[in-house]
Amino acid sequence: MLKQKHFIDSHKVATAFAVLGLMAWTENWSNTTAWVYFGLHGAYGVMWMMKSRIFGDKQWNQKTGPAYGLVIWIALTGYWSAPYLILTTNFEAPAWFLGVAIFIYAIGIFFHFTADMQKHIALTLRPRELITDGIWKRSRNPNYFGELLIYLGFTSLAWHWFPVVWLAAMIVAVWVPNMLRKDKSLSRYEKFASYRKSSAWLVPYIF
Q: What is the maximum alpha-carbon separation in the chain?
A: 59
pTM: 0.95
Q: What's the confidence (pLDDT) of residue 57?
A: 87
**pLDDT for res 58:** 86
How many residues are recorded in the chain?
A: 207
Strand spans (E) along the chain:
none
Q: How many CB atoms lie within 10 A of CB 62?
A: 10
* pLDDT (mean) for 150-179: 97
Q: What CA–CA distances, in Å, run from 53 to 5, 62, 93?
A: 10, 15, 35
Nearest partner of 89 among 161, 15, 160, judged by Cα: 160
**Nearest in space to 37 (alpha carbons), one of 11, 15, 21:** 15
Amino acid identity for residue 129 in this structure: E
As a whole number, mean pLDDT of residues 134-145 equals 98
- Per-residue pLDDT at 179: 97
Taking the CA atoms of residue 69, residue 75, residue 76 and residue 82 in that order, the dihedral angle to the nearest 10 degrees is 160
pLDDT band at 188 (very low <50, low <70, confident <90, very high): very high
Residue 145: pLDDT band (50, 70, 90) is very high
For residue 91, pLDDT beyond 90: yes
158 pLDDT tier (thresholds 50, 70, 90): very high
Q: For the segment 25-82, what is each residue's pLDDT rounded down to a tens digit? A: 999 999 999 999 999 999 999 999 999 999 988 889 889 999 998 999 999 999 999 9
- Is residue 64 within 8 A of residue 7, CB to CB? The reply is yes
The pLDDT, as a whole number, for residue 59 is 86
Asked if pLDDT for residue 199 goes beyond 90, the answer is: yes
Asked if the model's pLDDT at residue 22 lies above 90, the reply is: yes
In this prediction, residue 1 carries a pLDDT of 82
Q: Percentage of residues in the chain with pLDDT exceeding 70?
A: 100
Q: What mean pLDDT is predicted for residues 130-153?
A: 97
Has residue 94 got a pLDDT over 90?
Answer: yes
Whether 171 has a pLDDT exceeding 90, the answer reads: yes
How far is 156 from 162, CA to CA, in rounded Å?
Answer: 10
